[in-house]
Structure 1
């Protein structure tokens, strides 16, 4: 009988601990480095993992670099082999903290939270401060963020042949629903 109670308590405590963090495994990151009058340089990754600890406001994200899809297959190949070197640097991560985050304050109306963190990509880590819009829905906690980074900050070289066709400034959008 004592064994059954101990097992039940352990099972319940594991369940309770697992409930502390909210997770999304199908987040979407889209980035664009297009230049007007030239072919669109845009890719989307639809299998980004995002984890939020609502008690502390700590947030983390992981994207496998080979998960980014372009409209043009050759562009995707150049991205993986020549720019981001995805065999050597297979993932992009973000770790940060939401300022003054209170999950109880979330409603259906999006609320802005500032996040401070570090984005690691291509073997380099860069401090990021941006805004995340968050709201609550029946699907979970919705997150939307837009920010920009420079390819040069991550030692991503844009060859002179295409320098006028690819922007150094990369616009990034994250969209996720945490459960």
Structure 2
């Protein structure tokens, strides 16, 4: 009898824990950025190997991108980006940790607008951000998209004066995560 009660309690605890741990994740998210200015070569890159996880019960969200995963059309530009600007050997990753404000999985319509508040870390520097995002249901997955603007100086990224007129002060960033239920 005691064994049955103990087994029932353990099963109940496991079920309650599992319900509270509704996670969605991806390892193939995408981040694109563009810092082009007219009349100069396009400054644009894409990273298709970004990891992200969402705890649907709490709205907590985190993403991680390896800096060397960004691909440019011009190999020399990619080399300069990694070695001279973001120093990817010293600062190999960019992270975002935060929460989706007022997140409720049951309330997601075709496309639902949210704000993700959190801390973005890049080049060894933290910056608190509020990012507008759209989340929609796509089968058993959630599609999260967002667009925002960053400035290199916010992360102590120095652009040499010789090329500063060829790179925009405002960097347009877009993200897309197809988060699969885990």
TM value normalised by structure 2: 0.88
Residue in 2 aligned with 1:50?
52
The aligned counterpart of 2:64 is 62
- What corresponds to 1:122 in structure 2? 123
Structure 1: stretches of 5+ with no match in the other structure: none
Q: Distance in 2 between matches of 1:49 and 1:139?
A: 18
| Structure 1 counterpart of 2:161 | 160
Q: Is the 8 A contact 2:21 2:57 kept in 1?
A: no
Q: Tell me the CA shift for residue 87 of structure 1.
A: 0.3
> What's the CA shift for 1:139?
5.1
Of residues 84, 87, 100 in structure 1, which corresponds to 2:86?
A: 84
> CA offset at residue 16 of structure 1?
3.0
Which structure has the bigger radius of gyration? 2
Number of equivalences = 174
> Superposition RMSD on alpha carbons, in Å?
2.2
Change in CA separation of 1:63 and 1:55 when aligned onto 2, cut-off 3 Å: same
| CA offsets 1:41-75 (integer angstroms, 9 cap, x no match) | 00000000010011111100000000000000000
Deviations 1:7-30, CA, capped at 9 Å, x for gaps = x96xx76x9379521101100000
Shift of 1:106: 1.3
**Gap regions ≥5 residues in structure 2:** none
